A and B are shown apart, each in its own frame.
Chain A
């Protein structure tokens, strides 16, 4: 996530609301990178739900 957002200030508390770099475009880049590196497929609805760090982790748990 740090790589995608280009900032070191990513923590478990980060969310689309409190992280300036986590905009809608980079959100998709994040989804795309996760799909590629973990070899999973995320549906658009699932991508839309991953609005903060813990939700990303939760979503990934269902995929792996």
Chain B
């Protein structure tokens, strides 16, 4: 991938020469367009005149904006500024720090509002070293490279990992034990007010930990409880212990019983409709951890800290290893409440005699939306993350989706809501025109959150009707088996398509004439936008 780096210092030792070209020092006059992506990697210059230095840093905002506007749509990675050499002649001199903070929040803002901009926290790298290690004055004065070139190898390793996170599939669910995990002590022995939570250490450590976990759930990670306890005791603790941060409503699933934890985890994975390999299990008891490790090797089981004061670094390591992604989408944020709404739906289901009756009662509304700049990140994210209802499991980055659109493909997504909640954008289809009359289904997927309501059928048939209106008369499709998408093996058969070829690996090719309009059940309220 050809990369162009905007820089104000020598950074060649860090990004190397392979496929990388560089701007002049603090030079934005040349913006080559024959590259695949841009990187903005400025360093804070050395200048004892802090007022002047602050002004110089402030000028980077406008420069970055200018370059962004001119660089167009290509991926643009902005490194945050880190002051490697903090020189303050007077105690109250904050202008430089403020200018740096200003630039960094500007960069975060840009990443949030422009789909092609990603922000990289350079401080995450530099915070691992002390200032003597970070700057090598000899090399700085010889070659204008503030960051010690001896860190080049470590920088490259870090940078590679960071880039991998751009497309990382993070874990979806964090399963927590209660006693000596979410609070200190044992509820059944110490009582509701005897457990350690809030107040001074060690209770304070558990408060911080719970608050941090709450933040995690607000960022789209499902929290769940798996504890050997009496559920009524726990409910009482949730109700009556004033220091409790995490309560019933923050958990997407609960197993508070005396069954073995492997069985409980399996049941919760099913209830939440996620894979075991999307779960992380946290328990202070090494025996429980070992049991889960042995019986469910797909589940991640990190060691639990020995001391409560180690909980915050432990939390950070959880985030770093399992739960950080580059950008949180609105769908992520609403996820826990959606999973809870799903549990309500399941309860509702048992009260109806037939499934159609039930579906009718749900008031399901499906919006079929053509791909656009707003939903494109979510569409790419779904292709990366969806495993179960996924016919071809082709993974696309945002750029590749954009490429598909540029090549004339039809890409739709669906937003689904019902009377229990808004599921947001939860399905997509990629249609690749073969010729004027024929179109091929390149990818079709639905998030597992909305399965079990016949939405896949309504969606696909709506799309086929649209294609027919567009003049297409023939549709081709393929099912590519994976370890996880077995439930879709006969989907195209059920849609009335003819299987024309079958590979020894289970791959199936289909086609169908588009002659008639497909009828869609009237309990879906479908809008084509």
Contact = CB atoms under 8 A, between A and B. Distances in A.
Interface string A1-34: 0000010000000000000000011001100100
B360 interface: no
A28 B12 CA distance: 11
A24 B143 contact: yes
Interface string A35-58: 110000001100100000000000
A29 B13 contact: yes
A25 B150 CA distance: 14
B142 A44 contact: yes
A25 B139 contact: no
A29 B138 contact: no
Contacts of B12: 25
Nearest to B153: A36
A36 B150 contact: yes
Given A6-B17, A24-B143, A44 B10 contact: no
Nearest to A36: B150
B347 interface: no
Contacts of B143: 24-25, 28
- Interface size, A (range): 10 to 19
A47 B142 contact: yes
B139 A28 contact: yes
A32 B139 contact: yes
Contacts of B164: none
Contacts of B10: 25
Interface of B: 10, 12-13, 17, 138-139, 141-143, 145, 149-150, 152
Interface of A: 6, 24-25, 28-29, 32, 35-36, 43-44, 47
Given A28-B145, A44-B138, A44-B142, 15 more contacts: A24-B143, A25-B10, A25-B12, A25-B13, A25-B143, A28-B142, A28-B143, A28-B149, A29-B13, A29-B149, A32-B13, A32-B149, A36-B150, A43-B138, A44-B141
